[in-house]
Homo-oligomer: A and B are copies of this chain.
């Protein structure tokens, strides 16, 4: 049964296990440093015959299907699926979930969605509300570009602070298990931070304060320090956001996290070799990295305690055009392998 620790952290004494995970990615991700880690690498971003939106949906679908297949479970065994994406009305997730008949709870956390979904799924399993719960998130470069920025055909130029939306999806299945598996031991739902950033081409700067807030709250509530973790993994701050986060941690807490910090947006691409500016972003960024590389390393015992903190910029093109600030949030999930 979940138990509050301090002000914001929710401890999960049953430590539900991540019994399976899978990822599916597009072309640029398949050419990046984590290519060998993903379950499915599409050689193109045109993943199906349909629209970019349906291509993104197919990524979620593929990740989910593989997650079920890999643990020998059927979709009919699942009690609930938490999923979300960046598209208007979260249609990538809806159209993926439509094919499964799993009770479906749609989430919106922008790029923080995978952590939010994993947190809710773990909460449900720990509390007995679900025996088997799924969590899934996706994004697609082409569907995001035309929705948030410009149509691809326009060939808009990017600023050096811009990040590339990852074409990818990740899914994990969470259940009680006696097996030797990675376990979710604590979760934390973040608070919205708004530092007055309005530049939609500098999401890292908008999201770094939210990551700092969540990490600080988490460490305080659990009375731990960065050195207690093998990895503090942010979702998609990219190069600029990651630097800002490390600076914020030094300024606010006099804590240097650089030895244990990494960011999925920096891991999924080779920033020197690939033309991705400040790194990867999008719900699919941390979803695909966690549901491949990170969970594999945990399951092999190469990592023992990971604090996964995914950030999201909670704006829309409409609010950006209206000159509103970009509020941001970060949700945290502690994953351990004992």
Contact = CB atoms under 8 A, between A and B. Distances in A.
Interface of A: 1-4, 8, 10, 50-51, 53-54, 79-80, 84, 86-91, 94-95, 97-98, 101-110, 116, 120, 123-124, 126-131, 147, 188-192, 194, 314-319, 322, 324, 327, 329, 331
A319 B108 contact: no
Contacts of A54: 322, 324
Contacts of A329: 104
A307 to B, nearest CB: 17
A103 B329 CA distance: 9
B80 A319 contact: no
Contact of A98 (B91, B127, B316, B327): B327
Given A4-B79, A104-B192, A107-B108, A315 B89 contact: yes
A126 B106 CA distance: 21
Contact of A4 (B50, B131, B315): B131
A319 B53 contact: yes
Given A53-B319, A54-B324, A80-B189, 15 more contacts: A2-B127, A2-B129, A88-B316, A89-B314, A89-B319, A91-B316, A91-B318, A94-B192, A95-B324, A104-B189, A105-B116, A105-B120, A105-B189, A107-B108, A147-B318
Contacts of A2: 124, 127-129
Number of copies: 2
Q: Which among A94, A317, A331 has the greatest number of chain B C-beta atoms within 10 A?
A: A94
Nearest to A76: B7
Nearest to A106: B108
A317 B53 CA distance: 12
A108 B137 CA distance: 13
Given A4-B79, A106-B314, A94 B189 contact: no
Contacts of A91: 314-316, 318-319
Contacts of A80: 189
B103 A191 contact: yes
Contacts of A107: 105-108
A318 B129 contact: no
Contact of A109 (B102, B106, B120, B324): B106
A120 B130 CA distance: 13
9 contacts: A2-B127, A10-B129, A89-B110, A89-B315, A91-B319, A94-B315, A98-B192, A98-B327, A123-B127
